[in-house]
Structure 1
Amino acid sequence: MLGPLYSSFFRCHIVPKFAIKTLSNSRGLLSLGCCMCSDSSAKTDPSSVLSHVADHILEHNVRRILVLAGAGISTDSGIPDFRTPGSGLYDNLSQYNLPWPEAVFDLQYFYSDPVPFYSLAKELYPSGRYRPNVAHYFIRLLHEKSRLLRCYTQNIDSLERSM
């Protein structure tokens, strides 16, 4: 068991340093465990948290970092997540007259009506409307320093690649 989660940032929590150290020693990989929390008052300065992570990377000479980016990484850039009531993308898809919100990403529905998907993709595609935030720049820095092994994301905004 990794123990309690600490260091809130972007409504996420980072696994305590002892857990990171244990995981990084066992496989040579830095492992940060994040989970979404609904307490928006828990938000702290992201740069101070990333500074802590950077210190750990340097202190332990971590060279192969795997990033798993969830939907919350882009909310500070102004892109809504999918499920937040009232402001999430699923709540704001009514303009497309979809039979159900997820239909915008359903392949069979796409074959019958591709317009909603392309309209949403055009809205979210990096066009200068949304800018990368400190988390996206941190991922880019890991890449530039040859420490990023892989970056897997479920996001469709491409902000981690737009710099």
Structure 2
Amino acid sequence: MTVRPLRLLGDPVLRTPCDLVTTFDAALEALVTDLLDTVQVPGRAGLAANQIGTSLAAFSYNVEGRLGYVLNPRIVETDGEYDGEEACLSVPGVQARRLRAAYARVEGVDLRQRPVAVEGTGELARCLQHETDHLRGELYIDALTGERRRAAMRLLRSRATIPGPASGGGDRPLV
């Protein structure tokens, strides 16, 4: 089992859109294994490849007893509204209410390039949207508005610094 270290807010890999997976080889299989191992740490629901330092369009999920992954995911359908607490492994210690679709369907492929579809409501829908956003270089805090955004930003600023990238480096300023 390989649990990879997480990249945190301030690491440029989190703000860089991920590349589509085009090479389906042993390295990709190892990445998927690491994504699945890393998302199974208690308290985790989803994990995008860029959160572990790899700029490929891949994520894993572990929500309500459903564990899996999607390569080259794209949201193809959403419906309704779901307003609930959201947090991010790459923005530790900050959570905020965020409006998302109540239902989401993601399509992509698996390691054998076979079509994959994952759909869900509630927390699974939130996870699918959250991880797909990561792959575009977006964090959930980016879409917060009004008092929700102000509260999240106050919390971030109160922390003064965040750890540097998992590959080394010292602390960095938050903004």
Q: Same fold (TM over 0.5)?
A: no
With the length of structure 1 as denominator, give the TM-score of the two structures. Answer: 0.26
More helix by share: 1
With the length of structure 2 as denominator, give the TM-score of the two structures. Answer: 0.25
More strand by share: 2
Between structure 1 and structure 2, the one with the greater Rg is 1
